[in-house]
Amino acid sequence: MIYKGRIITDPAIMLGKPVIKGTRITVEHVLRKLSEGMTVEELLEAYPHIVKEDILAALSYSADVIEREELIAT
């Protein structure tokens, strides 16, 4: 999934957190709602100004961030 163009960061929007372009909906918020059991359909109903591809972009962005994390052995 290519998320460039759908997920942006801007220091003037939500303190620079990654958001769905054209909204103030953070990637974190999307992940939180999904982890709480909200379905994609429920998210789309609750936030009618986003589309399914925006949610998939948030997931893809998150996977890429985690993939680049550096693990420190404990």
Tokens 């992940």 sit at which residue? 31
Beta strands in 31-73 (DSSP E): none
Distances 36 to 1, 30, 64, 67, 74 between C-alpha atoms, Å: 23, 10, 22, 23, 29
Q: State the pLDDT at residue 4.
A: 84
Beta strands in 1-74 (DSSP E): 7-8, 19-20
CB distance 13 to 25 below 8 Å: no
Is residue 22's pLDDT more than 90?
yes
Q: Which domains does the chain carry?
A: 7-67 (1.10.10.10)
pLDDT digits (tens, 9 = 90+) for 41-72: 999 999 999 999 999 999 999 999 999 887 77
pTM for the full predicted model: 0.88
